[in-house]
Amino acid sequence: MSHLRLALRVALLSMLTNGVLIADDWFAFTPDANATDTSAISLRSLNEAFAGEHGFIAARDGQFIHSASGKPVRFWAVNGPPDDLKGEALAACAKRLAQYGVNLVRVHGAMFDKHGETDLAKVRHAQEIVAAMKAEGIYTHFSIYFPLWFTPSADLPWLKGYDGKRHPFAALQFNPAFQEKHRGWLKALLTTPDGKTGQRLIDDPAVFGVELQNEDSFFFWTFDAKNIPDAQLQILEARFGDWLARKYGTLSAALMSWKGMTSPRDDLAQGRVGFRPLWNIAHDKTLRDQDTAAFLLEVQTEFYRGNCTYLRDLGFRGLIHGSNWATASPKVLGPLEKLSYTAGDFIDRHGYFECNHKGDNAAWSIRPSHTYSDRSALRFDPDEPGKPKQFVHPVMDPHYDDKPSMISETTFTRPNRYRSEAPLYFAAYGALQDSDCIVHFAFDGADWKVKPGYWMQQWTLATPAMLGQFPAAALIYRQGLVAPGAVLAEINLNLTDLRQLKGTPLPQDAAFDELRLKDVPQGTKLAPGQRLDPLLHYAGRSHVSFTDEPGRVASTNLQPYVDHLTKTVTSTTQELKLNYDQGLLLINSPRAQGASGNLKAAGKTMLPAMTLECDLDLAHIVAVPLDDRPLATSKRILLQVMSEEQATDFATETVDAHTKRITNIGRDPWQVKRLRGSVSLSRKDAVQLKVTALDFNGRPGKIIGTADKISLLPETLYYLIAP
């Protein structure tokens, strides 16, 4: 009877209870939130002694560089730090970020109060952040304006027509009084002397740059009469009328050229011409639509160019960029958006890998009764379960006009079980495409809390699967342990063709988060529009140029790298191989080797420097050198292991084959699925290399053996391999 009970107990330990694996399959992730100086795998040495040690960051030949040395630099970054950190807590946060390989923070918050007036308390806090991060070799990038942060009150003198309920979408780009206020925010941030040191941020090379506006554009769905008050629309409509009169001589002549096509807001007697909906502009492409797009492009570009000039005249030597937003048509309007960004120093974008998260307030929170779907990026799972594979992902990164490329907001959102794919995915493919900066969203809590704020949100970054995998991921990306791929597509886009709405053969498809997906009109189909095979981004790189010369596409035959029959993609460097049927990524370079995804399906995986086995269907095992030498000769190797995460007591119930409903959002601490498997280094001296298990903070524990055969411990994420 006792044997039967034991057998039943063993069986129960592997079963699901209300959608949650019971405790014996998981372990609590409980790092010491105060430990910042004792890690054996700290990456602090990758950063400068202090940010700006080698001058301001500049943009040259498609890369970010240190201006004093000319040396290229990539940024592994976070949106943060948490808003409430000050003093010693802020300094400790900076130390932790540097330890995990971060060398830039994007400070994403308003420098104004609810009335739109400069808030000097926020400016002083920004100065404190820069100083704390600078001390740890971390640069600061400022994002200070987002329309969703501002609801102008009724009849605000410099922004008329609002009612205290609507956000000022698009208005900043054409309202002169609003632009003057915006420049005041920038001036206060950059030129206010620090109360302690007297230093101004404008003079500090630790300031990487400034963003002119976040997630707004004439070419996104929010540019619509229902979002913009009449008093504001009239300003832009009058400007459009003047533009048309200069082009055609009179507005009547313009209307004649348009074959009489009118719009409900046209008022030719008052010199104003309205705007057709973006859907019609992108799909009908009439002469009126072409003129409209050309006008909007000109105004948007002038806004960015004018502010760049203003900041340079002010004395700012950091980097400046326009925005980072998607459009109502990636194929037709997307390249116009990118073209407007060339007024700045680099090209930015945003993109999220969502998990079909639905429910009240799902745009910014996780709550009981919400539904979601587990979704693998390694398999190209669609955003709508049951649909064909969707070859769209934020990591896909065409480079434009030989300018550096940043993605200033990106993450895999919770509660997707496949979220743990993200760090190595971004690191490996970001390095392959020679991306210049990846900014993970969002470092909203520095102490590994499941719920760092007032509600549980889907972006939290201080988790075992995300920040916990930064050490190896940051090394791969920042040190180029995966080499850039060959350029597989050179695309020259003719400027006249773009204004005539002929579009691009390589659109950067939208990857919205839930917050901004609500701005997309209901019924709109966000289908990928690629004409070139999008899998080229997983084999190599692509370059896009804007030119007056005839448009052309020069693309390499992908057949040696992309096999749609076997569902595999191999990089031109042969260092990355993705099986998107199994959901398995193999990393095989001289200085980084491992596997990510469905390791159970892979079976025994033999790589030149190591052999690994693991029977988990979701795990990530990678080895990287800590001394920048090849794995075959390195004297200090980090072996990093991860499975998947969830909050303690997180529970779901089945809705259908692809969808789950949350019944308990969970609580602290984080749980990690128990690890198992083995790793063997193939070096002749493997038996002479000791393997030390490290704790969650990277502090050395006991020696568990030698590198010729490492049996993975169920609760260990990091191992140090050294003589």
pLDDT per position as a tens digit, 256-303: 999 999 999 999 999 999 999 999 999 999 999 999 999 999 999 999
Please give the residue range of the domain that contains residue 291.
212-341
- Asked whether residue 263 is domain-assigned, the answer is yes
CA pair distance 104, 205, nearest whole angstrom? 13
Residue 422 near residue 402 (C-beta atoms within 8 A) = no
Q: Which region among 25-29, 34-38, 266-270, 346-350 has the lowest average model confidence (pLDDT)?
A: 34-38
Give the pairing type, strands 319-321 and 207-211. parallel
> What's the whole-number mean pLDDT along residues 530-550?
92
Residue 34: the pLDDT is: 80
Q: What percent of the chain is predicted at pLDDT more than 70?
A: 94
pLDDT of 22 over the 70 cut: no
Residue 318 DSSP class:
S
- Asked whether residue 241 is domain-assigned, the answer is yes
- List 83's β-bridge partners, or say none: none
CA pair distance 243, 249, nearest whole angstrom? 10
CA pair distance 619, 611, nearest whole angstrom? 15
Residue 24: the pLDDT is: 80
pLDDT per position as a tens digit, 97-132: 999 999 999 999 999 999 999 999 999 999 999 999
pLDDT range class, residue 15, cuts 50, 70, 90: very low
Residue 434: the pLDDT is: 98
> What's the whole-number mean pLDDT along residues 705-710?
98
pLDDT range class, residue 16, cuts 50, 70, 90: very low
Q: Which residues contact 443 (CB under 8 A, 6 or more apart)?
A: 78, 79, 80, 81, 82, 97, 105, 461, 462, 467
pLDDT of 576 over the 50 cut: yes
Residue 362 neighbours by CB distance under 10 Å: 19
Residue 300 DSSP class:
H
CA pair distance 440, 146, nearest whole angstrom? 18
pLDDT range class, residue 9, cuts 50, 70, 90: very low
> What's the whole-number mean pLDDT along residues 584-609?
98
Residue 3: the pLDDT is: 41
pLDDT of 1 over the 50 cut: no
pLDDT of 178 over the 80 cut: yes
- For residue 264, give Cα distances in angstroms to 90, 252, 274, 410, 481: 54, 16, 7, 39, 57
CA pair distance 669, 158, nearest whole angstrom? 48
- List 438's β-bridge partners, or say none: 76, 407
pLDDT range class, residue 20, cuts 50, 70, 90: very low
Amino acid occupying residue 596? S
Per-position b or e across 450-482, b if 16+ CB within 10 A of its CB? bbbeeebbbbbbbbbbbbbbbbbbbbbbbbbbb
**This prediction's pTM:** 0.94
Residue 584 DSSP class:
E
Q: What are phi and psi of 374, to 5 degrees?
A: -70, 135
CA pair distance 721, 593, nearest whole angstrom? 14
Q: Rg (Cα) of the chain, in Å, rounded?
A: 26
- Asked whether residue 337 is domain-assigned, the answer is yes
Amino acid occupying residue 397? D
Residue 77 near residue 105 (C-beta atoms within 8 A) = yes
Three-class DSSP category at 719 = strand
Average pLDDT, the chain: 94
pLDDT of 519 over the 60 cut: no
> What's the whole-number mean pLDDT along residues 422-450?
97
What's the number of domains the chain is made of? Answer: 1
Tell me which residue has tokens 């090209």.
347
- Asked whether residue 284 is domain-assigned, the answer is yes
> Hey, what are 451's tokens?
């719920």
- Asked whether residue 264 is domain-assigned, the answer is yes
Alpha-helical runs (H) found in 75-157: 87-99, 120-135
Per-position b or e across 417-433, b if 16+ CB within 10 A of its CB? bbbbbbbbbbbbbbbbb
Residue 155: the pLDDT is: 83
Instruction: Beginning with the edge strand found earlier in the chain, give each strand of the sheet holding 541-547 in spatial order.
Output: 399-400, 541-547, 487-494, 552-555
Amino acid occupying residue 601? A
Q: What are phi and psi of 498, to 5 degrees?
A: -65, -45
Instruction: Beginning with the edge strand found earlier in the chain, give each strand of the sheet holding 645-648 in spatial order.
Output: 26-29, 667-673, 645-648
One-character DSSP codes across 177-235:
HHHHHHHHHHHHHHHSPPTTT---GGG-TTEEEEES-SS--TTSTT-STTTS-HHHHHH
- Asked whether residue 254 is domain-assigned, the answer is yes
Residue 7: the pLDDT is: 39
pLDDT per position as a tens digit, 70-102: 999 999 999 999 999 999 999 999 999 999 999
Residue 113: the pLDDT is: 97
pLDDT of 158 over the 80 cut: yes
Q: Which region among 10-19, 172-181, 468-477 has the lowest average model confidence (pLDDT)?
A: 10-19
